[in-house]
A and B are shown apart, each in its own frame.
Chain A
Amino acid sequence: MSIMVTHRTPNSTGFEAMIESDSDASVLLRERVLAAIADQTSVNIVGNGSKAFYGRPTQGEPLSVAEHRGIINYEPTELVITARCGTRLADIEAVLAEHGQMLAFEPPHFGSDATLGGAVATGLSGPRRPYAGAVRDVVLGTRLLNGHGEILKFGGEVIKNVAGFDVSRLMVGALGTLGVVLDISMKVLPQPEADITLIFAMTIDTALLQMNRWAGQNWPISAACFDGEAVRIRLSGAEKAIATAQIKLGGDMLPDDEAALFWADVREQRLVFFQGETTLWRLSLASATAQPNLPGAWFIDWGGALRWLKSDQPVETIFQAAQVLGGYACRFRSPLGGEFQPLSKSLWQLHRNIKLAFDPHGIFNVGRLYEGW
């Protein structure tokens, strides 16, 4: 029995907590999980399938969470929103925008029906990530359906909370292997007053140097990428601050609509670079790392901390290169399916133990993250 009190007081901002399509499917989902435990079967948790390509293939009966949707609570002045996992990201972003706020981690949608649950399960963040935090940075609380079929609440709706282990953040990027994340509370941020995007032609070495130099200074940067020919940086903040930064930094300014489209295309991987059948690798490296000597085409985001590589190199070559540099790689999109950098033996064992702690019967998304569990 939990004595935790969840407040559903009507909200002073006029936000209507329930709309017609909202539904709480947690009871049904719990029954499905209990049945899977009883039948010794496994499930494959699915929102609207926009990120089905990501991660390793998993067997198991589809467990749809799309019907578990709706915003439960939104308090603009608390900078917090709580929503069910099946809520469409687009719906959440629209409600936030009405109050001049946003999901600061700029979640990639990869489809018009992408859900909040999918954003949390994959843990993927967009171009603003190095400057405003990742999805894991804004998760404040979750309601979790674990492998015992129990519904548990961790964290909450407050920014500072150190009671108990941070189970909520553990769920981010776990690809559903630890349970069904039913509801999520997240910190949101105000939209900046203004944005501009500046473009500077340069070589890759200069680009890495320059993006990191800027990041170590006080510029109001909210995105920085390099496409092989030019660095684009987005500046966000008060009009005057941006105007000053523009004068001091130089570069050419992109027209507003073109800039907005560009960053959306980076986030959604709609740029020409991301097209085609060649395997796309994602390398997470220290931002100033010199470009790895791997053959293929590169697109650099996150001011250097995220390197996209289109390459036919064997998986071992890429993983080896990432490991040497202290980072990690994953096969992001490929006809061969997804694959994550192998874990050290002791770390792998720890992951196994944690999986068993949440999902002792092995019913959730088996094999989606690593083979065998």
Chain B
Amino acid sequence: MNHPEHPAEHIAHTVDKAVFLRQLSQFLKVENIVSAPEAMRPYDCDGMSAYRVLPWLVVLPETIEQAQAVLRLCHQHRVPVVARGAGTGLSGGALPVANGVLLSLAKFTRILAIDPDNRSARVQPGVRNLAVSEAAAPFGLYYAPDPSSQIACTIGGNVAENSGGVHCLKYGLTVHNLLALKLLTIEGELITLGGAGLDCAGYDLLAVLTGSEGLLGVIVEVTLKLLPLPETASILLAVFADIEQAGEAVTAIIGAGLIPAGLEMMDNLAIRAAEAFVHAGYPLEAAALVLCEMDGMAEQVAADLAKAQVILLTNGATEVRLAQNEAERKKFWAGRKSAFPAVGRLSPDYYCMDGTIPRRRLAEVLRGIAALSEEFGLAVANVFHAGDGNLHPLILYDANQTGELARAEAFGSQILQLCVAAGGTITGEHGVGMEKINQMCVQFSSAELCQFHALKAAFDPCGLLNPGKAIPSLPRCAEYGALHVHHGHTPHPELDRF
């Protein structure tokens, strides 16, 4: 894929690298500065590996004071900074800038405190998502957001991306599970946002920082909310011969007043891929399957499952299976959780999309995707967080076939525009990053983008933090818009074309 860098988003500087390295070495250990190209290679991309850029320098500070000093130095010399956690992001949010410092938080790996009485965990940003729940488990607590990368992804990145997972409908996203942050501004100021209580003085900057993709500051400490581990969790697997009926069944479950802990849907291609990969016992001929998990008090779970079972059957499910034990529950999930790598086995490459749509428009969006699949000549498997409307179409392609890469990208872009037209959004949980920067021009007007830029400037007036990501410049949109004329109207007519 072409890495869509734009000249208007470039932060130029003429700093001498040797001088800069000398200044860094005054407060960083030599092993925490990486400047040899071959040693920087592992940092040239994140989970969106189609885009690769070698950074100018990589630094791995070990303390807040060191990170502060790095930022002060960068600010002083007007050098761009890209913060990076585990690098598992799927939208190129941690893609380096060629003349910028890549600031890795990989050394910030300490769980500072678990407070069982107040049900909170204070952690450094490089702590892995799953490690928080593991540390909380002895107290009967856990951290709810569970992105599929939770074994590897880190909390700092979760905050930067407002990560979700399969339990968002009931337990919310990262933004709903945070109590406080410690943030370094580009000037190196340490600011605490949020507090010990459930709200704090002034503006809700905790919400602004969450999902800000490294554009506003560098997160150096996070206080997370912990929840009691559910006493019981149980799951239904419902089989459908028709995908639209599956969508209606999901809607009926929500309409009946149930809030499942997980409500997932897969189409036939995704089912077959998952079954071939992990043998979860999925029916190969099904057009769609729905997984519906309830958790909490045993009596509540039993009551909710009974209701859901009836709803699924009356809405066209040909079969509804209740996991008989924990092993079977895990097996039902295994297929869904391995859907991405399973699809990866069907095709040399796949491209994962992340649109969100109002659930009721699922059928029409799926029809649109099927039509596009024909048009582009590329197969697509659909995995759907049905509870919250987050759709992950996986486009199958072969990067070694001339033109397929570009076709996959164009197909993906069309899917996102379909989501926006259906009243949804271009990204539910993976972030805009580098990947969807052009589609931001479709979702937002220039006045809205200007407001975003003004908010960014309130934190980072020189635009040094993660430049060229998440919020497109107006010149970029003008150019992109020129290629995507809607109903004969060019977006952003107020801008010069070049």
Interface, chain A (partner B; CB < 8 A): 1-7, 12, 75-80, 100-101, 123, 129-130, 133-134, 136-137, 146, 148, 150, 152-154, 156-167, 169-170, 172-174, 178, 189-191, 193, 212, 215-220, 237-241, 243-245, 283-289, 302, 305-306, 325-328, 330, 340-344, 346-347, 350-351, 353-354, 356-358, 369-370
Q: How far is the CB of A360 from chain B (nearest CB, A)?
A: 8
Which residues of B are found within 8 Å of A6, using beta-carbon distances?
423
Which residues of A are found within 8 Å of B203, using beta-carbon distances?
170, 173-174, 178, 351, 354
Q: How far is the CA of A164 from the CA of B213 in the complex (A)?
A: 9
Q: In the complex, are the beta carbons of A237 and B297 less than 8 A apart?
A: yes
Q: In the complex, are the beta carbons of B197 and A305 less than 8 A apart?
A: yes
Q: In the complex, are the beta carbons of B445 and A4 less than 8 A apart?
A: yes
Which residues of A are found within 8 Å of B471, using beta-carbon distances?
164-165
Contact A130-B448, Cβ < 8 Å, known A136-B207, A160-B164: no
**CB-CB nearest in chain A for B226:** A216
Q: How far is the CB of A293 from chain B (nearest CB, A)?
A: 17
Interface, chain B (partner A; CB < 8 A): 115-120, 139-141, 161-162, 164, 168-169, 172-173, 175-176, 185, 189-193, 195-205, 207-208, 210-212, 215-216, 228, 230-231, 251-252, 254-255, 257-259, 296-297, 299-300, 302-304, 356-360, 385, 388-390, 420-432, 436, 440, 442-448, 451-452, 454-459, 470-471, 486, 489, 491-493
Which residues of A are found within 8 Å of B421, using beta-carbon distances?
5
Which residues of B are found within 8 Å of A217, using beta-carbon distances?
140, 228
Q: How far is the CB of B88 from chain A (nearest CB, A)?
A: 15
Contact A160-B428, Cβ < 8 Å, known A137-B176, A216-B116, A358-B454: yes
Q: How far is the CA of A3 from the CA of B480 in the complex (A)?
A: 14
Which residues of A are found within 8 Å of B168, using beta-carbon distances?
159-160
Q: In the complex, are the beta carbons of B445 and A158 less than 8 A apart?
A: no
Contact A220-B297, Cβ < 8 Å, known A173-B203, A240-B302: yes
Q: How far is the CA of A130 from the CA of B359 in the complex (A)?
A: 28
Q: In the complex, are the beta carbons of B358 and A240 less than 8 A apart?
A: no
Q: How far is the CB of B72 from chain A (nearest CB, A)?
A: 14
**CB-CB nearest in chain A for B494:** A1
Which residues of A are found within 8 Å of B432, using beta-carbon distances?
162-164
Q: In the complex, are the beta carbons of A328 and B197 less than 8 A apart?
A: yes
Which residues of A are found within 8 Å of B455, using beta-carbon distances?
165, 167, 170, 354, 357-358
**Known A5-B421, A157-B423, A216-B141; further 16 A-B contacts with Cβ < 8 A:** A7-B358, A77-B359, A123-B204, A136-B199, A136-B207, A159-B389, A164-B443, A169-B208, A240-B300, A288-B118, A326-B197, A328-B195, A347-B191, A354-B458, A357-B455, A370-B202
Q: In the complex, are the beta carbons of B297 and A330 less than 8 A apart?
A: no
Q: How far is the CA of A325 from the CA of B195 in the complex (A)?
A: 9
Q: In the complex, are the beta carbons of B452 and A164 less than 8 A apart?
A: yes
Which residues of B are found within 8 Å of A146, using beta-carbon distances?
451
Q: How far is the CB of B443 from chain A (nearest CB, A)?
A: 6
Q: How far is the CA of A241 from the CA of B458 in the complex (A)?
A: 49
What are 20 A-to-B residue pairs whose CB atoms are below 8 Å? A1-B493, A150-B447, A156-B425, A158-B425, A160-B429, A162-B211, A163-B426, A163-B432, A164-B470, A165-B471, A169-B207, A190-B258, A237-B296, A238-B300, A241-B299, A289-B196, A327-B195, A344-B192, A354-B458, A356-B458
Partner of B360, one of A78, A134, A344: A78
Contact A164-B444, Cβ < 8 Å, known A216-B140, A238-B299, A354-B455: yes
Which residues of B are found within 8 Å of A358, using beta-carbon distances?
451, 454-455
